[in-house]
Amino acid sequence: MSNDDRDRESMEVRARAPGKIILVGEHAVVHGSAAVAAAIDLYTTSSISLLHEGEDGDAGAVELDLRDSDLVFSWPCSRLRRALGEVSGKAGAPTPCSPDELAAIAKLMEDQEIPEAKIWLSAGLSAFLYLYTSILGCRPGKAVVTSDLPIGAGLGSSAAFCVSMSGALLTAAGTVGIGGGSGVEEWELFGKDDLELVNQWAFQGEKIIHGKPSGIDNSVSTFGSMIKFKKGELTNLKSRNPVKMLITDTRVGRNTKALVAGVSERASRHPDAMASVFHAVNSISEELSSIVELAAEDEIAITSKEDKLAELMEMNQGLLQCMGVSHSSIETVLRTTLKYSLVSKLTGAGGGGCVLTLIPTLSANIVLEKVATELESHGFRCFKVEVGGRGLQVCRG
C-alpha cells in the first residue's frame, strides 16, 4: 500500500451539495425545453471514511449511516463481490449502470430490513451502492449522510444526495483533488474539470432514482448559482439582486420518478398538444432568463423585473396544470397567496411537495408573516431560503 493510500484510509472526507428551486421549466426540461433553476442554502452532507480490511481474512463491510432517519445499512464486502463481481473502482468518467448491475443491486436491497414506511429510501440506497462500488470497488468503508432538505418534496434532495456522495467518493478515491490536511475544517471548492466529473457521476445516480432525469438538478447542485439548462447545456445567469422566495412544503409526499413517467405517458397520448405545452414553457424560460440577465446589468428596474417574473411563473403554473402535475394542496397554496396579491407556482416534480412564492422587494414583512401564518394554519410548513449560492464543497476532516 502506498503512503497516499495509507493517508486516504486514515482521513474522513466530507462533501456538501445544495438543494435547488426550479423557477420555471420543470418536466418540460425532460422533453428538451429550457428551464431555470437556482441553488438554495439547504444542504445534504455525505462523509466517507475508508476502512482497513481485517487482519484475519475478514474483508470488512460497506456501511451507510442515514443519520436523519436513524437507520444504518451494511453490506459485507464478500457479499458485494459475489453479487457484483470483482469491481475494482473507476477513476475516469462513469459507465452507466447496466440492467444486470441494477438487478444485482436490487437483490442486495433484499438483504436489508428497510422499514415499510421508509421503503422510498431503497432508490437512494441503490444509487449509493452503484456509486460506491463503481468508484471505490468492493473495499470496506463507512458513509454518513445528513440533510437539511425535506426528502421527496421537489427541492432536489435526490440530486444533492448523489452530488455530495459522488464528490466525497471521488475525493476519497483520490480522483478529484483538494489540498486539505491543514487540520482546520473549512469548505473548499473544486476546479471546473473536477466538478464536471462529479456531475457526470451524480447524473448516473439520479438516473437510478428518477428513471429519466433531465440533469438540471444535479447540474445546479454541483455548480451552484442560477442557471438556464437546456438539453444538457448549462448557462450561468448572473443575478445581482437575487430573487426572494418563500417556500411552502405542502407535506404531501410524492415521487419524482412516477410524476415524470406520468407526463411522458400524457405526451404519448396527446403528442401535438403536449409539444405545444413544452414549446410554451421553453419560451417562458428563455424570457425569464433574459429578464434576469438584463436586471443584472441594470437594464430594467427591480420592480419591473419582479412583475415580469411573477407573470411568467403564473403562466408556467397553468402549463404545469396542463401536464397533470398539480395537486389540491398546491391549489390551496396558490389561492391563499393570491389573497395577498402574491404569485406562486409548484417547484420540482409537483403532485404535492413544495410551492414557490415570489416575494417582491417592496412587500412589507408584515405581509410575509401574515401569509406564512395562514399557510401554516393549513398544516403546511413555510421557510425562506437564500437563492443562487454555492454548489458542491468539500472538506477533509
Ligand X SMILES: C[C@@](O)(CCOP(=O)(O)O)CC(=O)O
Closest CB 254 distance from ligand ADP, rounded Å: 7
Q: By C-beta, is 199 or 256 nearer to Mg ion? A: 256
CB of 253 to ligand X, least distance (A): 12
Give yes or no for residue 217 binding ligand X (CB under 6 A): yes
* 58 assigned to active site: no
The answer to whether the beta carbons of residues 44 and 164 sit under 8 Å apart is yes
Q: Which does 124 bind (CB under 5 to 8 A by kind): ligand ADP, ligand X, Mg ion, none?
A: ligand ADP
**Measured CA angle at 351 (ends 37, 232), to 5 deg:** 30
Helix axes 271-296, 256-269, angle to 10 degrees: 120
Query: Catalytic residue among 65, 217, 272, 307, which?
Result: 217
What mask of x and - would describe binding to Mg ion in positions 248 to 267, judged by CB under 5 A? --------x-----------
Q: Is 29 in the site for ligand X (CB under 6 A)?
A: yes
The radius of gyration computed from the CA coordinates of the chain, to the nearest angstrom, equals 22
Torsion angle of C-alpha atoms 337, 315, 153, 192, degrees rounded to 10: -120
- Residue 393 CB coordination number (10 Å): 21
Q: Using CB under 6 A, list all residues that contact ligand ADP.
A: 44, 66, 120-121, 123-124, 145, 147, 151-158, 161, 209-210, 255-256, 348
Task: Using the minimum distance from each CB to ligand ADP, give the nearer residue, 121 or 291.
Answer: 121
Distances (CA, A) of 213 to 31, 83, 87, 153: 10, 27, 26, 16
Looking at the Cβ atoms of 336 and 347, the one nearer to ligand ADP is 347
Quick one: cell of 182? 491543514
Contacts to ligand X from residues 290-349, by CB under 6 A: 348-349
* By CB under 6 A, residue 14 contacts ligand X: no
Cell of 322: 396542463
Beta-bridge partner residues of 294: none
- Enumerate binding residues for Mg ion (CB under 5 A): 158, 256
Which residue numbers are catalytic? 217
